[in-house]
């Protein structure tokens, strides 16, 4: 009997639907090969949901996600919705999905592929061999802390407020994910904070040090976030696993992504304790190239592979997808964002055809 998996698809906005179409074809192909039976259900999120229902995360979408085994998300947002009030913005839908499913751990791998070294803006010797995992806290910190808002003070002046706060249990659960992730890699964990200025960061660091007693095989180091940003572009190979808070992780994961040449290559997994995981590319919805068949679907395809590995425990199927992507790059096929001299420029669907053929 074949394995049954229910997958919620959230194509979202911009290039989302195009890259999702490629990932679905790839999943169907490995599904046939490995006798995995995928049941896909599409739901609305982001700008597409605002247009159809008036809100960026309809209750029905969250419910569909909860009823499934995993969620594959493409991208949300676009110029069209940028001037809406905050509670109606596409980003609010994404944040609502993360908190609604309690996906506190965001895994963002940044691995440089030998085929794409020349697509990096950094020198070959700096980026060759880079293999970093950023473990970003995703449902706490300044993204969700209270109070927040734009208030009027007693003197009548306006004042914008957000709050960076972490409880012990919030730090400990992301810390454990990070230590366990490091244990499966090269056992080096760097915790990034701003403990020289922020109490919340000092507390973060204290907790990481306390937790490290339970993981004697993992070497724990600490960096201030400004230094970490510098080190990431100066000497990225010193990093293996990085653990950090929501805001710092948002920033550092973009920097880590660019080491690899294109943010269009990087998948991510958002995991919680009980609900289904959400798998999505690190990149955004690229409204400037939406609907033109120019987008790079590889991060979306690699996100589907991560889903097979982490949520369905189908490591072999995941590996075959990753190898098909490498093969297509070896054959010289490139989308515009990773194009270099002597390679063959293809569109989003055409590179998808090549991945399917490689499988
Ligand atoms: C990301 C994005 C989101 C974030 C935005 C779209 C809300 O930048 O996933 O990194 O800030 O977390
Ligand atoms: Mg970001």
pLDDT digits (tens, 9 = 90+) for 221-254: 999 999 999 999 999 999 999 999 999 999 999 8
CA distance 77 to 89: 8
What share of the chain in percent tops pLDDT 90? Answer: 92
Highest mean pLDDT (candidates 192-201, 264-273, 331-340): 192-201
Which of 266, 277, 313 is closest to 130 using CA atoms? 266
Give catalytic status of residue 41 as yes or no.
no
Ligand 1 pocket residue status of 91, Cβ below 6 Å: yes
Which of 27, 46, 39, 8 is closest to 290 using CA atoms? 46
Per DSSP, the three-state class of 110 is strand
Q: Which of 10, 73, 87, 94 to mutate to test the pocket of ligand 1 (most atoms within 8 A of CB)?
A: 94
Q: Is 264's pLDDT higher than 90?
A: no
Which of 12, 10, 4 is closest to 290 using CA atoms? 12
> How many other C-beta atoms are found inside a 10 Å radius of the C-beta of residue 183?
14
Q: Is 2's pLDDT higher than 80?
A: no
Q: How many CA atoms lie within 13 Å of 174's alpha carbon, on the beta-carbon side?
A: 33
Q: Which of 250, 251, 278 to mutate to test the pocket of ligand 1 (most atoms within 8 A of CB)?
A: 250
Which member of 194, 240, 333, 337 is catalytic? Answer: 194
CA of 344 to the centre of ligand 1 (A): 32
Average pLDDT over residues 203-219: 98
Average pLDDT over residues 33-40: 96
Average pLDDT over residues 43-67: 97
What share of the chain in percent tops pLDDT 70? Answer: 100
Whether omega for the bond prior to residue 235 falls within 30 degrees of 0, making it cis, is: no
- b/e sequence 125-153, b meaning 16+ C-beta within 10 Å: ebbeebebbbbbbbbbbbbbbeeeeeeee
Q: Are 219 and 112 in contact (CB under 8 A)?
A: no
Distance between first and last Cα of the chain = 22
Q: Whose CA is nearest to atom 6 of ligand 1?
A: 91
Q: Are 325 and 301 in contact (CB under 8 A)?
A: yes
CA of 49 to the centre of ligand 1 (A): 18
pLDDT of the residue at 1? 58
Q: Whose CA is nearest to atom 1 of ligand 1?
A: 250
Quick: pLDDT tens for 4-29: 999 999 999 999 999 999 999 999 99
Nearest ligand atom owner, CA of 280: 1
Q: Is 119's pLDDT higher than 90?
A: no
CA distance 114 to 244: 27
Ligand 1 pocket residue status of 137, Cβ below 6 Å: no
Specify the DSSP element, H or E, that contains 24. helix 16-34
CA of 266 to the centre of ligand 1 (A): 14
Quick: pLDDT tens for 266-305: 999 999 999 999 999 999 999 999 999 999 999 999 999 9
pLDDT of the residue at 348? 98
Range with lowest mean pLDDT among 271-275, 300-304, 325-329, 344-348: 271-275
Average pLDDT over residues 59-81: 97
Give catalytic status of residue 82 as yes or no.
no
Q: Is 3's pLDDT higher than 70?
A: yes
Dihedral sign for Cα atoms in the order 14, 17, 22, 24: positive
Q: Whose CA is nearest to atom 5 of ligand 1?
A: 91
Residues in the chain: 359
Q: Whose CA is nearest to atom 8 of ligand 1?
A: 250
CA of 282 to the centre of ligand 1 (A): 8
Domain architecture of the chain: domains with CATH = 1-101+275-359 (3.40.718.10), 107-262 (3.40.718.10)
Q: Whose CA is nearest to atom 2 of ligand 1?
A: 250
CA distance 131 to 150: 41
Q: List, in sequence order, the alpha helices (H) in 85-198.
A: 90-100, 124-127, 168-184
CA of 267 to the centre of ligand 2 (A): 13
Per DSSP, the three-state class of 107 is strand
Geometric angle at alpha carbon 120, from 117 and 123, rounded to 5°: 80
CA distance 102 to 141: 14
């Amino acid at each position: 009997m074949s394995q049954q998996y229910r997958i919620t698809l959230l194509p979202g906005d911009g290039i989302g639907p195009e890259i999702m179409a490629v990932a679905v074809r790839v999943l169907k192909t490995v599904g046939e090969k490995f006798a995995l039976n995928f049941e896909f259900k599409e739901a609305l999120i982001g700008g597409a949901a605002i247009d159809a229902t008036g809100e960026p995360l309809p209750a029905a979408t969250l419910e569909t996600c909860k009823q499934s085994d995993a969620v594959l998300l493409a991208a949300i947002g676009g110029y069209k919705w940028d001037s809406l009030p905050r509670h109606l913005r596409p980003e609010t839908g994404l944040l609502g999905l993360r908190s609604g499913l309690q996906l506190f751990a965001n895994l963002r791998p940044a691995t440089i592929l030998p085929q794409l070294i020349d697509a990096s803006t950094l020198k070959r010797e700096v980026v060759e061999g880079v293999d970093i995992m950023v473990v970003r806290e995703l449902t706490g910190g300044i993204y969700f802390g209270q109070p927040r808002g734009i208030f009027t003070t007693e003197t009548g002046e306006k004042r914008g407020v957000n709050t960076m706060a972490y409880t012990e249990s919030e730090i400990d659960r992301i810390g454990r994910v990070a230590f366990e992730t490091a244990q499966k890699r090269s056992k080096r964990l760097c915790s990034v904070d701003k403990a020289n200025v922020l109490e919340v960061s000092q507390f973060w660091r204290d907790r990481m040090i306390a937790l490290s007693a339970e993981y004697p095989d993992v070497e724990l180091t600490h960096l201030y976030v400004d230094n970490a940003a510098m080190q990431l572009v100066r000497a990225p190979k010193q990093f293996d696993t990085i653990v950090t808070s929501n805001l710092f992780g948002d920033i550092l994961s973009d920097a880590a992504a660019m080491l690899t040449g294109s943010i269009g290559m990087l998948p991510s997994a958002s995991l919680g304790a009980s609900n289904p995981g959400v798998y999505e590319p690190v990149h955004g919805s690229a409204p400037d190239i939406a609907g033109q068949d120019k987008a790079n679907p590889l991060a979306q395809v690699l996100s589907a592979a991560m889903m097979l590995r982490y949520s369905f425990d189908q490591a072999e199927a995941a590996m075959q997808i990753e190898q098909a992507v490498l093969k297509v790059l070896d054959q010289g096929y490139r989308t515009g964002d990773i194009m270099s001299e002597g390679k063959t420029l293809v569109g989003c669907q055409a590179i998808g055809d090549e991945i399917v053929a490689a499988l």
